Amino acid sequence: MAVHAHPDDESSKGAATLAKYSADGIGVMVVSCTGGERGDLLNPRFKDLHLDMEGIAELRREEMATAAQILGVAHEWLGYEDSGYHEGDPATWDLPENCFAHRDPEEEIEALVRIIRRFRPQVMTTYDESGGYPHPDHIRCHVVSLGAFEAAGDPARFPDAGEPWTVSKLYYNVGFSMKRMIAINDAVVATGVVSPYADWITRFTENPRPDPYERATTHIDVADYFQHRDDALKAHATQIDPDAHWFAVPHELEKQVWRTDDYELARASVPTSAPENDLFAGVRE
């Protein structure tokens, strides 16, 4: 089970992993905590499209259904409203009333526990305590995912939410790491092409922060599923320009330089040791 903040997050963070395990015959479910209603229309092709929040939500539901089909996964909505992007000190955020990051997290944890107890996953993936980046929904997604992981197997917690189920392992996505970007950037530049990551590397250099790759424990070879990842991401057409930098690196070059989706093992109730090359290490045995 992969728990994400908004529709499209599942396609930009670990999508190839989802497609790989689905193709291997493993049941895979994506849970989207919000409908992405307050997301901007980031694809310039939609610049003249004027929609209210419900119109955007409907469009993003359709996009999510297409992406799930491409990846071969089941999908559920946790059912909460997008909080919108906010910058600066979280104490200064003026969150919309009733949005995901503004509600009681216990209520949201119970909603996710219900899905966990019904789907009964061995493995969950989500974001670390930083949310991957400081969007309030990503940070709340971490809080809710960790809370539900811990509560789902406890019969004293939410006794009306289904039969208890203990998830064996919890992982955090290791997303846009500096190490990965530099490796791919250098390989692209070596071919004589202007790298699509140059601006990102400059921004990270000017505003340094810990590289999440330093915490990575688990590396899944997903090179055969890069096209599934890209196709799923393009399905979120309001959010992704098909001519954007996301798709500028040839798959053959990417396969040579960085073949893996990377994760940090955060919790485990089964014996395993790092480095791992399988999210189900210790579970299959």
Distance set, CA 274 to CA 215, 234, 271 (Å): 11, 33, 11
- Cα–Cα dist 272/269, whole Å: 9
- Cα–Cα dist 58/70, whole Å: 19
Helix (H) or strand (E) holding 264: strand 260-268
Here the tokens at position 237 are 């057409």
Task: Answer yes or no: is 6 a known binding residue.
Answer: yes
How, if at all, do strands 169-174 and 260-268 pair? antiparallel
How, if at all, do strands 2-4 and 260-268 pair? unpaired
DSSP state of 45: G
Query: Rounded to the nearest 5 degrees, what angle is found at the Cα of 145, between the Cα atoms of 143 and 149?
Result: 120
Task: Answer yes or no: is 138 a known binding residue.
Answer: yes
Q: What burial letters (b/e) apply to 182-192, b meaning 16+ CB within 10 Å?
A: bebbebbeeee
Main-chain phi, psi angles of 239, to 5 degrees: -105, -20
Main-chain phi, psi angles of 229, to 5 degrees: -55, -50
Amino acid code (one letter) for 67: A
Known binding-site residue numbers for Zn(2+): 6, 9, 138
Known binding-site residue numbers: 6, 9, 138
